[in-house]
Amino acid sequence: MVKTELLGRDFKQHTLELLSKDNFDLALSELNRLPSGRLINALFSFLYHTDEYVKWRAITAMGSIVAEIADKNIDQARVIMRRLMWNLNDESGGIGWGSPEAMGAILSRHEGLSKEYAHLLLSYAMEDGNYLEHEMLQHDLLRGIGRLSQVRPELVKESVPYLMHYLKSADAVVRGLAAWIMGLLKIEESRLHLEKLTGDGSELRMPKGNEIITKSVKDLAEEALEKLS
């Protein structure tokens, strides 16, 4: 039964229960049958969730649902994109956890929105743009760029000079995610930097399919180098 009649906290709790299901593919189909406006509001709150699975699944669900909204009403989808961008604005009063990755998830699912907003997502990696200095936000940003790179690499490649500096970050998660992106984009210019990371045993958590896995920076650098061969 689809509980479209639930309101307020009950609706939010039902959304959380679906995000926590073992079978996420089934949960996602159920989420897609809920009223989209209320569901998006609930998902926004879960971008801040401390459980990595709940946060990642909320981001994935937002990508799917906003893409469907965009097919029916592109202006409504643009409002959601602007809301994510507002979360990253200093004037919002918040931090914007999860927002860059949610942007990447949406852009990876909808071609029209990707053409409009990919450059804005990438601007958060540019020191002469809307650069995000907080390393935890950089994690979200690089995961979002990685999602986009998997589907629409041509929209990301022009920003490679800005992305390569993350390979030298003091933060292991940033280094690992940057190596992952270099492999996705098959950037030959990153080879020397990647080779330096093949001795880096630092570990990070990242989504893969419907799971969240642990990878080392070394593993991600080696995998990226294989893609350059």
Nearest by Cα to 67 from 55, 56, 57, 80: 80
| One domain, residues 83 and 185 | no
CATH number at residue 187: 1.25.10
Full domain range(s) for residue 96: 1-155
- pLDDT reading at 1 higher than 50: no
To which H or E segment does residue 155 belong? none
Confidence (pLDDT) at 193: 97
Count of domains forming the chain: 2
| One domain, residues 15 and 115 | yes
Lookup result for tokens 């509980």: 3
| One domain, residues 182 and 220 | yes
CA dist 3 and 15 (Å) reads 10
Confidence (pLDDT) at 138: 97
- Rounded to the nearest 10°, the torsion over CA 165, 169, 174, 175 is 80
Residue at which a domain ends, from 115, 137, 155: 155
| One domain, residues 210 and 128 | no
139-197 confidence digits (pLDDT tens): 999 999 999 999 999 999 999 999 999 999 999 999 999 999 999 999 999 999 999 99
Residue at which a domain ends, from 155, 174, 203: 155
| One domain, residues 148 and 220 | no
| One domain, residues 186 and 77 | no
| One domain, residues 175 and 83 | no
| One domain, residues 178 and 111 | no
Nearest by Cα to 63 from 17, 95, 100: 100
CA dist 49 and 97 (Å) reads 9
| One domain, residues 170 and 108 | no
Q: Taking residues 48-58, what's their average pLDDT?
A: 93
Confidence (pLDDT) at 7: 59
| One domain, residues 79 and 183 | no
91-141 confidence digits (pLDDT tens): 766 689 999 999 999 999 999 999 999 999 999 999 999 999 999 999 999
Q: Taking residues 59-76, what's their average pLDDT?
A: 97
| One domain, residues 149 and 174 | no
**Mean pLDDT over each residue of the chain, to the nearest integer:** 93
| One domain, residues 95 and 124 | yes
Neighbouring-strand partners of residue 208: 211
Residue at which a domain ends, from 94, 126, 155: 155
